[in-house]
Chain A
Amino acid sequence: MKPLLEVRGVTMRFGGLVALSDLSFDVTPGHAHGIIGPNGAGKTTAFNVITGIYAPTQGDVLFRGESVTGCRPSTIAHRGIARTFQNIRLFRDLTVFDNVRIACDAHARYSWPGAMIQLPSARQAEKETIGRCTDLLEKFGLGNEIHERAGDLPYGSQRRLEIARAMALQPSLLLLDEPAAGMNSAETLNLVEFLGWLRDHFSVTMLLIEHHMQLVMTFCDRITVLDFGKTIAEGTADEVRKNPEVIEAYLGQEDGHE
């Protein structure tokens, strides 16, 4: 099958620091693809390059066969890549509902003058957006909190809301940056279930960064291991687990990570 996302020889430098060097991997449609690696390996940087927050120093990112390198993040979001952030970036002062709605607006295509003179088409589009947001929030179990301030939600709900907001873009590829961060093992178990539901229900392809080994190993179809900005291994969970370089660089620390 043709890959959904292709990362081709991406290098990212910050001054003298090489955060990514010649990174390449493919994400197959329908898969859950994991990226693991020790702290500072460049995982988040890879996400930032894919979503257009940084333009790579070298290399190319292709989405559905088309290059998205150098596109603005909003353009990439419109093409169908949505993401969450390692340290939650909600619109904290807005309501839960508006958080989702802002992402939903990407699909409301009414014009400027339409909005200014309140054309029926604009009103209709707004109504539809409201309906879609309500549905989405119900599905994510946030239906009772829609008028809460996002920043007031408990941590777990904030994570969930961030995923709901990303899904409001109706993406075909969802990037999750450490979704299990700060969760205990019971919560992590729930998360695996939740991610499975997400994948099946929205038939979305996933690329996820995670430190929690068990989660990655059970959930991901394919895993890329980064260290110091380089790919040191790629393959299925079993292949990666057996790779000596990975064991040395990363899995040696597994005990430290629960």
Chain B
Amino acid sequence: MTRWLQHPPPRGVLLALLAAGLAACFAIEQFGLVDDYVRFVLITFGINIILCVSLNLVNGWMGEFSVGHAGFMALGAYLSACVSVKWLSWGDPLWMFPLAVIGGGLMAGAVGFLLGLLSFKTRGDYLAIITLAFLMIVKSGIENIPYVGGPRGFLGIDNHTTLLWTAVWTVLTLWTIRNLVYSRFGRGIVAVREDEIAANAMGVDTRKAKLTAFVVSSFFGGVAGALFAHQLQFINPSVFDIVKSTEILVMVYLGGVGSLAGSILGATAFTFLSQALQPLGTWRMVILPLILVLLMIFRPRGIMGMREFSWFVPQREFPKKEDKK
């Protein structure tokens, strides 16, 4: 795809680490190994990775500029809350919660599809404005639906977002997006970023590529929203505003556009930075956008922009010497 660090990934090491990580998450939940604050931060971290890598698909790999990701989060959050509080509250969380999360993702994905349709005609600035309008419509739309609590918010959501579920969804997101970007579908998305007309002339169905990017991105945005709702146990429309979108943008452009490793890095840095800045109160939201501005001036593609850590790259992408004749 782009450039990665030189060496092929060691076989199996990543899988072993992954298994160990999931086991650790399970153990932490089961035996209460960490205190509530640490657990909360870890879950936030996972959700941030999902948000960051999914927005990166549209803003990094496809090179558009969406400010609407918080809107997809909101859709996922509210729909999953409806499922778990109002529609299937009798269900066992073991199957009901995944269903709620998937439902939230599908809802966001469906709306993402519509936004993708709009991206056929409009690009660049105007598409950015459309995503902004979408965000405001979702927010003020929810404010006008008394069924989900209107401006006061949606109360009484159970805490279903365990560390293990978060980890599972995080891995699933990374896995899906990695397989997507290293497939012909993902290369089509990148080609659209590079040159839409040339891509089209080279057989890339640019419309399908755009829809794919928007749907996958918004699906996982919705998933993250669903996890977020069941972590906070209380959501209201003003949580999902432009500030939330900006937070995700900071992660993407800090870590690096068009990079899985960058997304993880961005989410990590952001999560811990924003925890560290917590005592500053609203000044935190002065410093974060300031970082974004400085990044744009000094390193517009982020730390890992367009580069990849070799462990996230499929083995086959490293041509062996003997293969070359």
Contacts and interface: CB of A to CB of B under 8 A. Distances in A.
Chains A and B form a bound pair: yes
Interface of A: 51, 53, 72-74, 77-78, 82-83, 85, 89-95, 98, 101-103, 105-106, 108, 110, 112, 115-118, 122-123, 126-127, 129-131, 134, 138, 147, 165-166, 168-169
A77 B203 contact: yes
A240 B207 CA distance: 42
B185 interface: yes
A178 to B, nearest CB: 16
Contacts of B319: 130, 134
B205 interface: yes
B316 A130 contact: yes
A74 B185 contact: no
Contacts of A101: 187
Contacts of A126: 183, 314, 316
Contacts of A83: 201
Contacts of B123: none
26 contacts: A73-B200, A74-B201, A74-B203, A74-B206, A77-B200, A77-B201, A77-B202, A77-B203, A82-B202, A91-B191, A91-B198, A102-B199, A105-B184, A108-B184, A110-B184, A112-B185, A115-B183, A115-B185, A116-B179, A122-B183, A123-B316, A126-B183, A127-B316, A134-B324, A138-B325, A147-B3
Contact of B180 (A72, A92, A115, A127): A115
B194 interface: yes
Interface pairs A-B: 7 shortest CB-CB: A106-B203, A91-B194, A115-B183, A105-B184, A77-B203, A89-B198, A73-B200
Nearest to B194: A91
B204 interface: yes
Q: Interface extent on B, as a size class?
A: 20 to 34
Contacts of B207: 72
B282 interface: no
B4 to A, nearest CB: 10
A202 to B, nearest CB: 17
Contacts of B180: 115-116
Nearest to A77: B203
Contacts of B306: 93
A116 B175 CA distance: 8
B204 to A, nearest CB: 6
Contacts of B199: 91, 102
A168 B194 CA distance: 18
A94 B201 CA distance: 17
A92 B194 contact: yes
A94 B325 CA distance: 24
B1 interface: yes
